[in-house]
Structure 1
Amino acid sequence: MVHKFAIEQGALIEQLPEFIQSHFNMVIDVKADGPCGYHVVAHSLGRGEELEFYSKEYTFSNIHQTLGSIYPTPSEPVGTKHWMSMPSMVEAIANAFESPVFFFSPNLFSIMLPSLLSAQSNSRNIYCISTKYTPFCVLNDEPYEFPAPRYLKNWEKSATKEALGWAQLYSPNFQKAHD
C-alpha cells in the first residue's frame, strides 16, 4: 500500500542533489513498515506492491518463507533486524531483479549495476531514497537521460564477463555527471 505523507512530491525531490532534480517527475512514497524496501523494488519494476509478483517472476528458494519472516503482522511492525538496509542491500537487489539500483541519501549518491548477468537495454531502473521524512521513495524518469555517479571500481573485479556490458550501457549517464 502506498503511504500518503503530508509532504508534497516537490519537497522530496528537493532533497536530492540539485543536478539530478530535474530528471525526476514523480515520487511514490511507500509506508515505512519493515518490508518497505520490497515495496520500493516492486514499484520500480512497475509491479505495484504485490507479493504475488515476487513468487511468480523470480525463483528464490522458499520465497514465501523469506517474505514471511520480514512481513509484519497486521498489528505490529517487525524489528529493524528484518529491514532491507541501504546501501548494504543494493548489490543483492541489482542482481536479484536484474536492474541497476540508484541509491540516494543526504550523504550518499551511488549506483550498483548487476554483476552476474548481461546488460539489458530494456531493464527498469530501481531508485531508492532515504530522507529525513521517509526511508524509501521510488522515482520514475526516462532511462539513460540523467547524470549518474560512476559505479565502484570493485564492481568490475566482481562482475562476470557478460555483466561488464552494463558499464557501457550507462556510460552516457556517467559522462553527464562529469560534464
Structure 2
Amino acid sequence: MPRRNQNKNRFLECIREEMPAYISSHIIDVVNVIGDGHCGYRVIGLALEMGDNWLQVRKDLIEEINANEFLYNNMFRSSRRSELLLSLDCSSIPAPLDKWMTMPDMRLIIASRYNVAVVHYSKFQFFTFLPLHSAPTLNRKTIFIGFVNDNHFIRLLMSEDCPLPPVVSMWMRYHASVAEG
C-alpha cells in the first residue's frame, strides 16, 4: 500500500477515535483544511462548492447577522451579536484566536444564511443546526463538520444512514414558523 494511503487511513482512524462512538463507523472520509484560524470557514466554503473562499463565507455571515439584526439581538443579546460581527471581520492569515469560528453561535447563522442543515460533531458536543427563517426543502444540503484536537475544524463525509444528533435547543426557541416541517 502506498505511503500516502497509509497516512490518510491513519488520519481517518484518528478522527474516528476522536468522534462520538455512535457515529465513528459512519465516517466515510475526512477533508482536512489548512489550520490557520479560518478552518471552520474553509470547511463551509468547500462544502458549499465555493472552493477555499473562507473570506466570502465570513462576509456572507456578516451580511446574515446584519440583515436579521432583531432576530440575532434576541438570540444573543446585542453585545454578543457585536462580538460575533467583530470575530467575522478578519482577513489576516493566520487568524488570531478571537477570530476563530465559535460553536454553537455560528452554526445557526451558517444554516440560516445558506439554507442548509449543519451537523456538528466533536468529542463532547453533537448537534444539528437548521435554518431559522426559511422553509424546509426536500433537497436541503447537509454539511457535516467535526471539531478535533480542541482547535481545528474538518469536513466529515458521512454515510447516508448516519444518525443525526438532536436539533440544538436554541433553534426550537428562535425559529420562524415557516422553518418548521
TM-score normalized by the length of structure 2: 0.70
Question: SS state of the match for residue 145, structure 2?
Answer: strand
* AA in 1 matched with 2:104: P
**Structure 2, unpaired ranges of 5+:** 1-6, 67-85
Distance in 1 (alpha carbons) for counterparts of 2:45 and 2:147: 17
1:18-75 Cα distance to aligned partner (Å, 9 max, x none): 21122221101111212211101012223321358659x999389xxx99941224xx
Q: Give the match for residue 17 of structure 1.
A: 20
Which residue matches 2:123? 106
CA distance in 1, matches of 2:99, 2:127: 23
Residue 71 (structure 1) aligned with residue 64 (structure 2): no
- 2:113 match: 96
Task: Look up the SS of the partner of 2:171 in the other structure.
Answer: helix
Aligned match for 2:178, one of 139, 158, 162:
162
2:106 is matched by which residue type in structure 1?
Answer: M
1:81-133 alpha-carbon deviations (Å, 9 max, x no partner): 21111223111111111111111111111111111101122222122211117
Residue identity in the other structure for 1:42: G
- Larger fraction in helix: 2
Partner of 2:73: none
More strand by share: 2
Aligned partners of 1:88, 1:141: CA distance in 2, in Å?
23
Would you say 1:28 and 2:44 are equivalent positions?
no
Give the counterpart letter for 2:98 in structure 1. K
The alignment of Structure 1 onto Structure 2 pairs a total of residues equal to 153
Aligned match of 2:80: none
8 Å Cα contact 2:41/2:57 also seen in 1:
no
Tell me: CA distance 1:121–1:10, structure 2 relative to 1, closer, same or farther (3 Å).
Answer: farther
Give the secondary structure class of the aligned counterpart of 2:180.
Answer: helix
| Partner of residue 139 from structure 1, selected from 156, 159, 165 | 156
Counterpart in the other structure of 2:166: 150
User: Once structures 1 and 2 are overlaid, which stretch shifts more, 116-125 or 45-54?
Assistant: 45-54
- The one-letter amino acid of 1:115's match is L
User: Which position in structure 1 is the counterpart of 2:47?
Assistant: 44
| TM-score using structure 1 length | 0.71
Q: Relative to structure 1, is the Cα distance of residues 46 and 22 closer, same or farther in structure 2, using a 3 angstrom cutoff?
A: farther
Cα pair 1:111 1:148 within 8 Å, conserved: yes
- State the distance in 1 between where 2:20 and 2:152 align: 17
